[in-house]
Amino acid sequence: MSVEKSWKDFLNNQNVEKDIFDYIGSLQEFVGQMRPKTFGEKQQIETAKEYLKEVRKLAKRLETKNDLLEAKINILEHNLSDGEILDG
């Protein structure tokens, strides 16, 4: 599969509900299919791959924090609806 076809497929599927990990995976696949012609291009592609790994790690951390905060909000809302939160 050519890089151009992969990129077109990626752009055509944008109207489907995706999360950040879908986009990162698509970019990793796209970058992985690139064929460098020079040593400099090879270094740039390797750097891009490393950056995408770091972005994936950071996104996972953010997702975990978001899940924790949503759980805390649900607890607070539940306590509020039960009248357990005291004024003051």
CA–CA gap between residue 58 and residue 65 (Å, rounded): 11
CA–CA gap between residue 57 and residue 75 (Å, rounded): 27
CA–CA gap between residue 7 and residue 31 (Å, rounded): 10
Domain boundaries, the chain: 3-81
For residue 2, what pLDDT is reported?
Answer: 75
pLDDT, mean of residues 49-61: 97
Alpha carbon distances (Å) from 77 to 16, 58, 59, 88: 32, 28, 26, 17
Instruction: Write down the pTM of the prediction.
Output: 0.67
Q: How confident is the model at residue 49 (pLDDT cuts 50, 70, 90)?
A: very high
For residue 80, what pLDDT is reported?
Answer: 87
Q: How confident is the model at residue 81 (pLDDT cuts 50, 70, 90)?
A: confident
CA–CA gap between residue 77 and residue 35 (Å, rounded): 53
